[in-house]
Amino acid sequence: MAAVDIESRGGGPEKNVSRSSNNYSSSSSFVVDDSDAQWTSWLMPMFVVANIAVFVVMMYVNDCPKHHRTGGCVAKFLGRFSFEPLRLNPLFGPSNPTLDKLGALDWEKVVHRHQGWRLVTCIWLHAGVIHVAVNMLCLILIGVRLEQQFGFVRIGIIFLLSGFGGSVLSALFIQHIVTVGASGALFGLLGAMLSELLTNWSLYTNKLLL
């Protein structure tokens, strides 16, 4: 009888431990699966395509050979898509009048002519190939990752509000220069990434230690 009692006493906890370990493993695997779930990124890639398409249209409207008949356009083999002379635009892009025509940010026109729409349109314009390439590369590296983690609604709102806020600040502090670009929106995404990193710092450190 004593042997039976010892066996029953010894076997009970082992079964309980095994059951608890099974429950723990199943629950922990659920947590890992849930944390690894990601959204499908489509909004940021669409923004990249839209910015590139707008730049192509802008170069078509610019038509450098038309107002530089004596020459000077860069990459003349592109025809009307060729770039302005480097002395006018070192970023390989259109002229200032073209940027202004398509909605670049101009403080005088926003304030005195009530063209507030320029605070939004300037986000989608870029001064040249170098400008649009750097911004779109940053948007892919930062925006796509954030969209996969937090979804297109949150990241889209952050992008648009940050871009609008950057335009307002540019209009306030850069009043005598025509400005374009999505730098404000990109800095907003960068700030969101840094805040997420600081908020979940312990989680990232634990993953590195495991």
Per-residue pLDDT tens over the stretch 60-81: 999 999 988 877 899 999 999 9
Q: How far is CA 184 from CA 37, 62, 87, 165, 208, in A?
A: 29, 25, 27, 7, 32
Same domain (yes/no): 48, 30 = no
Same domain (yes/no): 87, 20 = no
- Helices first, then strands: H and E counts in the chain: 11, 0
Q: Where do the DSSP E strands lie in 86-191?
A: none
Task: Quote the domain boundaries for residue 17.
Answer: 1-37
CA 197, CA 210: separation in Å to the nearest integer?
A: 18
Q: What is the pLDDT of residues 165-200, one digit of tens each?
A: 999 999 999 888 999 999 999 999 999 999 988 888
The whole model's pTM is what? 0.78
What's the total number of domains in the chain?
Answer: 2
Same domain (yes/no): 205, 146 = yes
Same domain (yes/no): 13, 103 = no
Same domain (yes/no): 14, 45 = no
Instruction: Please choose, from the candidates 200, 169, 17, the residue with its C-alpha nearest in 3D space to the C-alpha of residue 107.
Output: 169
